[in-house]
Structure 1
């Protein structure tokens, strides 16, 4: 099922709250402070949406312990913003988000970055690949071209390394350089070394490639070789093509401080490509639990 923006959960606060509670607790609320299920819903207008834990005696709502905690933005706008980002293949700018859901640019920026944090949570953190699995590793550069600058210093490019399991998940990182030690750190922390590694001719992968039981295979892009049967890194290149369209067409410029969050956003949509927009948005809501930003 895909998103229908006329759904009452995007316009009615009570229905939005019920939807998020159903996603988080499935009808059985649990105290986020102590983990007890001995909780009760409080009554009265001033206590709307609030629960009381009978063990630790703390109060909480469905926002507590999530990226939505202590936000004054209504839940139905959180839901709508989450669904819009889930459905926007090449991203959604904060300026456009603000116009669509009726909030200021600052509020939309706040929402978008916290939703990206929830997307990172929904991506998971276990190793990708495994026995019989192929993982492609490739790097790209993000930033303006020197020939396009109007004045001043040559713009500094930001380096992104992506690890893409064929038919599986992708995981992308902003790195300081593409030296062998940097690439090895990214690979061994995120890829099962029983996998087969596919890369381009970058010599930084040679040493770490020997650690993969499935072997290391490379294609030579400098010699115009882009595929040799099953040996290629085109899956990673495909990921970069969508990411670059988002950079050029939607965001235009990505701050180095927040680049990792934009990468998590594009990783999430790639990792859930077989899901409907509705299911993807629900996964993002769950990914925001335990990832509060202050």
Structure 2
């Protein structure tokens, strides 16, 4: 039987029950005051699905309150379909595709996808705890707003810039959008996300050599310019493999992304990478993990930059 035939993808009450079981594993909890004992489900024919009342603060609520679903008129079972599709699509799924598949407007599909990406954002780290190895690399994508391509500037000067760290032990990735590739900017990203005792592995980019003694206990690098792509366990193949999926998705699926949204797209690819099938995490489990991140991640059209 197709996974998309499951009851929570088609029945609204089943969808609410599914979300409640994952967001409230110990029972309904009031998002206003945190009460979970003096709470009861509201009855009556006119009562909306999933409504509860807190008898401490006297406020009604549903599992949507305080989450990415708040104030959304999209049915919960449609939200669950969207979350599953985004979590199961290795290189992402466009808003146009969600619009056609789910039967919602393009604007609604775009807004839903950004809310789901916000739920996927997770502060992993620090990487390399205990002296583990961390691969670090940078990549260029799209066009930096307000920057014109110059014949004298370096190849990626007019493009948006992303730094990614991959922890070889936990096999997790963290991508950060940066404005430039100066030593101060790059070293801050590394110190914010990597343990001081970690072993840093990079390519021969000069900036890493300049900051190495200040950000890591050990620094090894490969010389791509000399045709060297691996020397024992010294390589950046893992982070470059991450980028191969990221760029295929950004160029082939999403095609264009404004810089104000790039951090969420990066978080989406980080999330799927960190919860991938190689870790024996199925599409269903990945979608359930995404559901645990919906709390406190509410976005509006204004805050999302529409």
Q: Per the shorter chain, which TM-score range?
A: over 0.9
1:1-294 alignment runs, 5 A limit: 4-26=3-25, 28-37=27-36, 38-44=38-44, 45-120=46-121, 123-143=122-142, 154=149, 156-167=158-169, 168-212=171-215, 214-273=217-276, 274=279, 275-294=281-300
- Paired with 1:187 and 1:218, the residues of 2 have a C-alpha distance of 16
Is contact 1:66-1:290 (8 Å) kept?
yes
Structure 1 stretch displaced more, 45-54 or 104-113: 45-54
Matched residue SS, 2:252: helix
Q: Deviations over 1:177-222 (max 9, x none)?
A: 1111111010000111121100111111123321355401111111
- Paired with 1:34 and 1:24, the residues of 2 have a C-alpha distance of 16
Q: Which residues of structure 1 form unaligned runs of 5+? A: 145-152
- Paired with 1:249 and 1:33, the residues of 2 have a C-alpha distance of 42
- Paired with 1:28 and 1:62, the residues of 2 have a C-alpha distance of 11
Matched residue SS, 2:108: helix
- Paired with 1:181 and 1:73, the residues of 2 have a C-alpha distance of 44
Is contact 1:218-1:231 (8 Å) kept?
yes
Is contact 2:250-2:256 (8 Å) kept?
yes
Q: Deviations over 1:233-256 (max 9, x none)?
A: 111100000001101210111111
What's the offset of the Cα at 1:26? 2.0
- Paired with 2:290 and 2:161, the residues of 1 have a C-alpha distance of 26
- Paired with 2:64 and 2:20, the residues of 1 have a C-alpha distance of 9
What's the offset of the Cα at 1:125? 4.1
TM-score, normalised with respect to structure 1? 0.92
- Paired with 2:3 and 2:188, the residues of 1 have a C-alpha distance of 43
What's the offset of the Cα at 1:86? 0.3
What's the offset of the Cα at 1:143? 2.0
Distance 1:264 1:118, change over 3 A: same
What's the offset of the Cα at 1:64? 0.7
Distance 1:265 1:3, change over 3 A: farther
Which residue pairs with 2:304 in the alignment?
none
- Paired with 1:129 and 1:52, the residues of 2 have a C-alpha distance of 46
- Give runs of ≥4 in structure 1 deviating > 3 Å: 153-156, 211-214
Is contact 2:195-2:216 (8 Å) kept?
no
Which residue pairs with 1:149 in the alignment?
none
- Paired with 2:48 and 2:178, the residues of 1 have a C-alpha distance of 46
Structure 1 stretch displaced more, 159-168 or 41-50: 41-50
